[in-house]
């Protein structure tokens, strides 16, 4: 299936690792012109080397998206280098997973900065540009923790829930201007962030990290943890013209772990 992404300018925030890097790689393989952003210049350089080894060019820019001005500068820089942004994928930021008994007020504030505002600032920088041109697609990679409360992920889950509402609301607000906004909520995905979450649960339960991981895998309907590439496939479809009438959707990608009707 031709997704029609050849030549499209795609910005992936949080694109140096994990799901973001998998998305950047998949878009590049479709012939898109890809830019990735991350706070860490070393991580960006490593990601660029990996993409180039696969035959893909990529534009990189270091930015801390907790700062709205940095998000504006990122959009300016990408558009100056590659042209108008056609697709925005937000994957930057992850709230620290902390057992409920260890939480302080600072954890809640940090979670909103790390996850909610990194997404909102990127959206605010790019959406008006898309609207002025009459086209664009946004996919926010959020997390299932915003729908299913976990005592190990309450501040992050709250930030995720807020970003889901913002995604749906912005989709409605910008629909007449030719811009689509969707969200993807991955479940457990084999990334570095997964280990952090497992470690937090291990501290709380007294188990080892391996024991916690095995317990989760046993509960998964497909008996395995999702790969970043499987999430990227969903993101590409939603970003593409093949999903031209899909907007405001919040799609869970967890292998039917939470079989709910919403």
Q: What average pLDDT does range 84-95 have in this prediction?
A: 92
Q: What's the pLDDT score for residue 96?
A: 78
Hey, how many other C-beta atoms are within 10 angstroms of the C-beta on 59?
16
Q: What average pLDDT does range 14-36 have in this prediction?
A: 97
Query: Of 151 and 229, which is predicted with more confidence?
Result: 229
Residue 157 has pLDDT above 70, yes or no: yes
Confidence of residue 196 (pLDDT cuts 50, 70, 90): confident
State whether residue 206 is helix, strand or coil. Answer: coil
Share of residues in the chain with pLDDT > 70 (%): 100
Residue 95 has pLDDT above 90, yes or no: no
Give the pLDDT confidence of 40-60 residue by residue, as tens digits. 999 999 999 999 999 999 999
Q: What's the pLDDT score for residue 212?
A: 81
- How is domain 9-252 classified at the CATH fold level? Rossmann fold (3.40.50)
Q: Give me the residue spans of the domains in the chain.
A: 9-252
Using a 10 angstrom Cβ sphere, with 0-12 exposed, 13-18 middle and 19 or more buried, the burial of residue 177 is middle
Give the pLDDT confidence of 111-152 residue by residue, as tens digits. 999 999 999 999 999 999 999 999 999 999 999 888 888 887
Q: What's the pLDDT score for residue 41?
A: 96
Give the pLDDT confidence of 231-248 residue by residue, as tens digits. 999 999 999 999 999 999
- Nearest CA to 228 among 189, 187, 184? 189
Confidence of residue 262 (pLDDT cuts 50, 70, 90): low
Share of residues in the chain with pLDDT > 90 (%): 74
Strands 59-62 and 9-13: unpaired
Assess contact for 100 and 152: CB atoms under 8 A.
yes
Question: What tokens were used for 181?
Answer: 């906004």
What one-character-per-residue DSSP string does 188-200 give? SBSSHHHHHHHHH
Confidence of residue 197 (pLDDT cuts 50, 70, 90): confident
Residue 198 has pLDDT above 80, yes or no: no
Q: What average pLDDT does range 95-105 have in this prediction?
A: 85
């Amino acid at each position: 299936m031709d997704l029609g992404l050849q030549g499209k300018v795609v910005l992936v925030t949080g694109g140096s690792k994990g799901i973001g890097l998998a998305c950047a790689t998949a878009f590049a393989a479709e012939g898109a012109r890809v830019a990735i952003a991350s706070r860490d210049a070393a991580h960006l350089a490593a990601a660029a080397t990996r993409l180039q080894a696969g035959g893909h060019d990529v534009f990189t820019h270091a930015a801390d998206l907790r700062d709205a001005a940095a998000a504006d500068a990122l959009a300016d820089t990408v558009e100056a280098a590659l042209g108008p942004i056609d697709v925005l994928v937000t994957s930057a930021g992850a709230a620290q997973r902390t057992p409920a008994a260890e939480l302080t007020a600072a954890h809640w504030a940090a979670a909103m900065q790390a996850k909610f505002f990194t997404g909102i600032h990127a959206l605010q920088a790019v959406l008006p540009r898309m609207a002025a041109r009459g086209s664009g697609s946004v996919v926010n990679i959020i997390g299932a923790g915003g729908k299913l409360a976990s005592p190990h992920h309450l501040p992050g889950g709250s930030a995720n829930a807020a970003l889901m509402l913002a995604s749906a609301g912005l989709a409605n607000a910008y629909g007449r201007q030719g811009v689509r906004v969707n969200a993807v909520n991955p479940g457990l995905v084999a990334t570095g962030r997964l280990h952090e979450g497992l470690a937090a649960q291990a501290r709380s339960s007294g188990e080892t990290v391996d024991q916690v991981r095995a317990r989760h895998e046993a509960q998964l309907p497909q008996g395995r943890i999702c790969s970043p590439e499987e999430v990227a496939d969903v993101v590409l479809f939603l970003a593409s013209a093949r999903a031209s009438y899909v907007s405001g959707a919040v799609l869970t990608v967890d292998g039917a772990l939470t079989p709910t009707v919403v």
